[in-house]
């Protein structure tokens, strides 16, 4: 129906009877295409196309307030340290500069930082040391301060939402792992699945490596030396328990029993 209306309307245009109509139509079409491309490019370079530009300026204000960059955008000392960290860089950098980890033993530090890699809720209440509990309270305080600052700078996230992303359900598990407890016993301390525990410990190992890298960018020798020399636990090293689940250990025992049976059979044949 619409096509028929358009066809009827074209009969009233005398220009379609021009001998150069096709050439003129091609020129107009080309001009319209060029104008559409020009409009598209002008939009791309305009502020209207930068949907993340407001959030960019908001986060710049946060970094300036925390002294990660100066008023001119130059990266400061805290900013250089944060550049060595891949996730939750604001919180971890603030923890380092406020010496939250300094009074903690290596296993307590690892347990505390597990909140950066664990994202689930758990029904099991962890049993931890008083020192570690005090450190957790300081982490929550620092996170609350960062969340409130971000909110004041216009970032659409409440302080409660920012603080709520850090979970401490694996603190006891990581603490016991770092102290050398067998994984089969560690698995009984939580309702979190074994695979999740293993993945969190492996991710935590990367976080601890980043802490050492951040220490290397610190210009104060005493601070850097203290953290670079810290005996952090490391997943998969001889100083930490192996990250194998009870199921894997059972399979290892079955393989060992099978090998032992084969050796006994060979010995009996040799005696004959």
Query: Domain limits at 214?
Result: 86-250
User: For residues 227 and 170, what is the distance between their CA atoms, to the nearest angstrom?
Assistant: 23
- For the cut 90, the answer to whether the pLDDT of residue 216 exceeds it is no
Indicate whether 212 belongs to any domain.
yes
35-84 per-position pLDDT tens digit: 999 998 888 777 666 777 788 889 999 999 999 999 999 999 999 999 99
pLDDT band at 247 (very low <50, low <70, confident <90, very high): very low
CATH number at residue 239: 1.10.3380.30
Indicate whether 245 belongs to any domain.
yes
Indicate whether 243 belongs to any domain.
yes
Most confidently modeled of 77-81, 144-148, 182-186? 144-148
Indicate whether 55 belongs to any domain.
no
The reported pTM is 0.66
Indicate whether 246 belongs to any domain.
yes
Provide the domain count of the chain. Answer: 1
Indicate whether 143 belongs to any domain.
yes
93-116 per-position pLDDT tens digit: 999 999 898 888 889 999 999 999
The pLDDT of residue 130: 92
The pLDDT of residue 161: 95
The pLDDT of residue 237: 37
- For the cut 80, the answer to whether the pLDDT of residue 260 exceeds it is no
- For the cut 50, the answer to whether the pLDDT of residue 254 exceeds it is no
Indicate whether 117 belongs to any domain.
yes
The pLDDT of residue 15: 76
Indicate whether 41 belongs to any domain.
no
Which range is least confidently modeled, 82-96, 126-140, 251-265? 251-265
């Amino acid at each position: 129906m619409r096509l028929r209306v358009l066809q009827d309307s074209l009969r009233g245009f005398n220009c379609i009877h021009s001998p150069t109509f096709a050439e003129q139509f091609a020129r107009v079409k080309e001009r319209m295409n060029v104008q559409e491309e020009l409009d598209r490019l002008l939009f791309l370079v305009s502020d209207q196309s930068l949907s993340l530009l407001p959030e960019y300026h908001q986060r710049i204000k946060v970094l300036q307030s925390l002294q990660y960059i100066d008023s001119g955008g130059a990266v400061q000392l805290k900013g250089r340290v944060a550049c060595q960290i891949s996730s939750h860089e604001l919180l971890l950098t603030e923890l380092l500069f406020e010496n939250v980890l300094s009074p903690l033993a290596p296993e307590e530090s690892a347990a505390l930082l597990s909140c950066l890699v664990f994202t689930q809720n758990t029904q099991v209440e962890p049993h931890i040391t008083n020192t570690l509990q005090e450190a957790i309270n300081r982490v929550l305080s620092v996170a609350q301060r960062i969340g409130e600052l971000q909110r004041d700078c216009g970032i659409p996230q409440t302080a409660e939402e920012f603080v709520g992303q850090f979970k401490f359900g694996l603190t006891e598990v990581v603490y016991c792992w770092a102290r050398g407890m067998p994984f089969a016993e560690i698995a009984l301390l939580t309702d979190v699945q074994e695979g999740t525990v293993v993945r969190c410990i492996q991710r935590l190992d990367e976080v601890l490596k980043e802490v050492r890298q951040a220490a290397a960018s610190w210009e104060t020798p005493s601070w850097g030396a203290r953290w670079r020399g810290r005996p952090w636990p490391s997943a998969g090293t001889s100083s930490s328990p192996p990250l194998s689940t009870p199921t894997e250990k059972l399979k290892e025992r079955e393989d060992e029993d099978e090998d032992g049976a084969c050796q006994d059979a060979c010995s009996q044949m040799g005696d004959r």
